[in-house]
Structure 1
Amino acid sequence: MALALAAATTGCATQPGGKAPMAAPGAPAAGTTYTYTGNPLFRDVFTADPAPLVVGDTLYLYAGHDQAGEGQMFNITQWLAFSTKDMKTWTAHGPIMQPTDFSWVISDAWASQVIQKNGKFWLYTAVEHDPAQGSHGKAIGVAVADSPLGPFRDARGSALVRNEDTDGPHTWDDIDPTVWTDDDGTSWLIWGNANCYIAKLAPDMISLDGPIRQIDLPDFEEGPWIFKRGDLYYLVYASMDKSISPDERISYATAPSINGPWTGRGELMGSAANSFTIHPGVAEFQGEWYMFYHVGTLDVGGLKGALGRRAVAVERMHFRPDGLIDHIEQTDAGILPLP
């Protein structure tokens, strides 16, 4: 998740009459259950930047907790977790971490992904570095837990990637990490805004084992998500072509190897309703492929959906015999009907 048009602003404006802006709803209590009735998934909380993880018979879904009030752009205060065993009944597990759980961070629970490796669960995420601690702008942090629901703790005590480590056009180019572990056990980190970066992770999962390189992708904006199906690697990402739309869309590329060459395959999904940003998260679960994304159409607690008040949605993905993906339409019904 991030912004291509300006640095994110978390300060809020006072409403006329000196009233403080209306606050967004808090996190659902752990144990709260939801029955899927179409999109968006969760109707009482603003969620963004969905990141699915399948562990055994359970799909976990991680999301940033959008809490922007009136006059705010972004205010994402914590990472939430949900789970399901059938895509129909979902359970909330409350916040699993907040940015200041990293001692070197001051704010911003931006896009994350959790992966499983070496008996641990690793959360890679974008946060705002504390300038008093030697860096500034967005950075990539990594946390670790023994369970997919935490508790997650800072795995290294410092940023995995700092703003100064890449030659990007602005201070928020190091965001939106996605991780893939290849068949040989090597894990790779891909991230970026404006530039798409890739680097090999060391076996310890908390340091880089090689140089940071760039992947050339058509209209790349941000939000990469890497996965593999059969022998083909897929890189899905938020793209922008202002001749088509002033808002982000989802495009994708394929490659025979994690190291490319990557072939652009065009648009996969159009712009999100009422949201400049869109963020893909892909998972195969119980024989079906799903695309998670967010929209800005949900109204909660008197607050209307907006750029900083988004809601996670989901659609099915369908692959052609040649491995390419059919265009995905955003719908209110989503993945209904369910068994």
Structure 2
Amino acid sequence: MVKANTPGIIASILAISACVACAPTAIDKNTSATQGNPLQMGDNLRVADPSAYVWGDGKMYVYTSHDLECQEDFWMKDWYAFSSTDLKNWETHGPLLSVNDLTWADNYAWAPDAAYKNGKYYLIFPAGTGHKDRVNPENSTKWMGIGIAESDSPTGPFKDMIGAPLWRTPYANDPSLFIDDDGQAYLYTHAKDHDYHVIKMADDMRSTAGELTKMDMGGYEPKMEGPWVFKRGDWYYYTMPENNRILTYYMAKSPTGPWEYKGEIMGQENNSNNHHSIVEYQGQWFLFYHRWLDINSACGRQRHVAAEYLYFNDDGTIQSIERTEKGVSNFSER
């Protein structure tokens, strides 16, 4: 495996560029603990890229990536989960899996997703090797692929049962794993030259079935990351951070389209990236996402998970959402 080895001056440039590109909002350090947002997840843990699910035990589970304090260029090493019944008090689980447990990757433990099928819980995750040289891109050796791990418990530990990525080409990350009512699992990713593609998972969830297939997006295909697919009633929803910043969505009558673009769910915040999930819990729909906030950090703004209530119109379209400090802190009182 290729090991990252960056001279000190370039490392400093990379760390600075990562923060400058985000340009997010600060938050009052003295009052953040009393706010609904960001969610109080873990003791001094910086987590992001929330994938939220409700399993058979009736709890809300949120699977996340884990930002190391003052990390270099999103070099990340493991994944966590958090569970709650009131969306205010969260129990920490993890690490669920680490790149140290993998034979095919040693870095880039980015945005995960999860699923339940065949009596097993699955953690699907991106990981990789190498180094993205932002100063001299022609020297970059970075590669990322999608792995899948299994557990008998929603909180792990998870094990990489196949010891390899699901595929090596194209370079891919940001997996979204959707299981339809008939039990068929669909995998959507952000991939090099393969955005807006889908591939079926085999029934054993340890391999794919067929090839990546380009979906009909109705003629509108902006730059994107982190797709999230879910179903409500007869409608399927393909949601994403458009231009990596603005949460937008499409609707369709099939998990593979054709999709019709519907517009914005949540606007961008100070030109910083976002990553999200949408889930129903106890009859209420929620949006989980992350924000870049300066909360007791030695290196400024870091990513933190937040949540808001989400509402639909009568025709199934999604109402736009504003970021709030209150978030879902009054959920248990509703």
8 Å Cα contact 1:192-1:224 kept in structure 2 = yes
User: Matches of 2:5 and 2:185 in 1, distance apart?
Assistant: 33
- Are residues 14 and 45 of structure 1, via their aligned partners in 2, closer, same or farther at CA, if it must alter by over 3 Å? farther
Residue 204 (structure 1) aligns with: 204
> Secondary structure, in 3 states, of the residue corresponding to 1:100?
helix
Deviation at 1:136, TM superposition (A): 6.2
- Are residues 288 and 36 of structure 1, via their aligned partners in 2, closer, same or farther at CA, if it must alter by over 3 Å? farther
8 Å Cα contact 2:40-2:89 kept in structure 1 = no
Paired AA for residue 256 in structure 2: N
8 Å Cα contact 1:196-1:222 kept in structure 2 = no
Query: Could you list the runs of 5+ residues in structure 1 that have no partner in the other structure?
Result: 1-8, 16-20, 22-34, 241-246
Residue 285 (structure 1) aligns with: 281
8 Å Cα contact 2:115-2:177 kept in structure 1 = yes
Q: Does 1:329 align with 2:322?
A: yes
Residue 36 (structure 2) aligns with: 38
> Secondary structure, in 3 states, of the residue corresponding to 2:174?
coil
Residue 161 (structure 2) aligns with: 155
TM-score by length of 2: 0.81
Pick from 229, 233, 247 the counterpart of residue 232 of structure 2. Answer: 229
- Are residues 196 and 129 of structure 1, via their aligned partners in 2, closer, same or farther at CA, if it must alter by over 3 Å? farther
CA deviation digits over 1:200-231, x for unaligned, max 9?
A: 11101111111211233532411000100000
Residue 256 (structure 1) aligns with: 253
Give runs of aligned pairs for residues 1-339 of structure 1, distance below 5 A: 13=8, 37-42=35-40, 44-55=44-55, 56-69=57-70, 72-129=72-129, 137-162=143-168, 164=169, 166=170, 171=171, 174-193=172-191, 195-215=195-215, 216=217, 218-240=221-243, 248-273=245-270, 276-305=272-301, 309-338=302-331, 339=333
8 Å Cα contact 1:196-1:220 kept in structure 2 = no
8 Å Cα contact 1:10-1:73 kept in structure 2 = no
User: Matches of 1:42 and 1:77 in 2, distance apart?
Assistant: 21
Paired AA for residue 288 in structure 2: F
Paired AA for residue 58 in structure 2: D
> Secondary structure, in 3 states, of the residue corresponding to 2:100?
helix
8 Å Cα contact 2:87-2:329 kept in structure 1 = no
Deviation at 1:106, TM superposition (A): 1.5
User: Matches of 1:277 and 1:14 in 2, distance apart?
Assistant: 25
- Are residues 45 and 11 of structure 1, via their aligned partners in 2, closer, same or farther at CA, if it must alter by over 3 Å? farther
Paired AA for residue 104 in structure 1: W
User: Matches of 1:11 and 1:187 in 2, distance apart?
Assistant: 40
Between structures 1 and 2, the one with greater helix share = 2
8 Å Cα contact 2:230-2:237 kept in structure 1 = yes
- Are residues 300 and 207 of structure 1, via their aligned partners in 2, closer, same or farther at CA, if it must alter by over 3 Å? same
- Are residues 36 and 190 of structure 1, via their aligned partners in 2, closer, same or farther at CA, if it must alter by over 3 Å? farther
User: Matches of 1:69 and 1:136 in 2, distance apart?
Assistant: 20
> Secondary structure, in 3 states, of the residue corresponding to 1:57?
coil
Residue 27 (structure 1) aligns with: none
8 Å Cα contact 2:178-2:230 kept in structure 1 = yes
TM-score by length of 1: 0.80
8 Å Cα contact 1:36-1:89 kept in structure 2 = no
8 Å Cα contact 2:198-2:213 kept in structure 1 = yes
Deviation at 1:272, TM superposition (A): 3.6
Residue 26 (structure 1) aligns with: none
User: Matches of 1:315 and 1:235 in 2, distance apart?
Assistant: 19
Residue 30 (structure 2) aligns with: none
Paired AA for residue 67 in structure 1: L
User: Matches of 2:190 and 2:100 in 1, distance apart?
Assistant: 22
8 Å Cα contact 1:233-1:256 kept in structure 2 = yes
Query: Could you list the runs of 5+ residues in structure 2 that have no partner in the other structure?
Result: 11-15, 17-32, 132-140
Deviation at 1:260, TM superposition (A): 0.9
Paired AA for residue 57 in structure 1: G
User: Matches of 1:257 and 1:47 in 2, distance apart?
Assistant: 32
Paired AA for residue 293 in structure 1: Y
Paired AA for residue 153 in structure 1: K
Paired AA for residue 175 in structure 1: N
Residue 28 (structure 1) aligns with: none
> Secondary structure, in 3 states, of the residue corresponding to 1:258?
coil
8 Å Cα contact 2:176-2:188 kept in structure 1 = yes
> Secondary structure, in 3 states, of the residue corresponding to 1:221?
coil
- Are residues 13 and 64 of structure 1, via their aligned partners in 2, closer, same or farther at CA, if it must alter by over 3 Å? farther
User: Matches of 1:213 and 1:254 in 2, distance apart?
Assistant: 18
RMSD value, Cα: 2.7
